[in-house]
Amino acid sequence: PPGRSAAPRDFSTLDASGSTSQAAAIAEALEVGATALLFDEDTCATNFMIRDDRMRRLVADDREPITPLVDRVAHLAKAHGVASVLVVGGTGDFFKVADAVLVMDTFQPRDATAAAKKLAQDDALAPKPPPPRYFRHRAPAANFEPRGRVQTRALRTFQYGDNNDVDLAALAQLVELGQTRAIAAALAVLARRHTRQHLAAMLDDLDRRLDAADLDLLAPANGGLAGDLARPRKLELAAAFNRLRSAVFSQLP
């Protein structure tokens, strides 16, 4: 379709499906060093989370472009130290790969790991080989300085230049307007120091500079005070960067 790349490894779209959005969100988090992923079944894309045995027999894995999380979650933990916590109630597919299974029984947690592992013994699914990589580092391909005003309108949206609103509606970790102000200011600071560093390195460098100078680093260029800012984590800053429509990235080898 117009606006979409045909090559799965170079796919881009402005109206991604739930599974594509979830896969991209995980890759973005891993790219900047996330070590824990939280999943709530109610807000996840089912076809990204699991593929049951009947579906795999109907549509072979080599004909399905989506590799479900159940095939990768154990390798993420063992090879990369990335833990996953899942809240599920409609599928037992994760029993075989889970390190621990807790059941909420009349509002009390109960260890059900042994029972879940016993139920999973007859699971016909063979383990999948790990992928060569989960993401490729990306660097800004061009200057992303704002063309116009930078201002924060609400907790989960800010303006980064003229006609360029950044939508953070899905970023539940934001709880204080000062975090959003700081994110907008940090993007402008990063833009002024635009280098060919990859995104994770840029954010690590910013973290070190904030440790040294505190939030005064993000103070307005006209010498104003940074008293209305609250320091965000680099994960929230990365999420905002990845939602900045004016930013163009290139993948590094």
3-state secondary structure 155-177: CCEEEECCCCEEECCCCCCCCCH
In terms of DSSP bridges, do strands 150-154 and 157-160 run parallel, antiparallel, or are they unpaired? antiparallel
pLDDT tens digits, one per residue of 166-224: 999 989 999 999 999 999 999 999 998 877 789 999 999 999 999 998 998 998 765 66
Look up the pTM and report it: 0.78
190: how many CB neighbours lie within 10 A of its CB? 21
**What percent of the chain has a predicted confidence (pLDDT) above 90?**
64
Q: Find all residues with CB under 8 Å of 106, minimum gap 6, and list them.
A: none
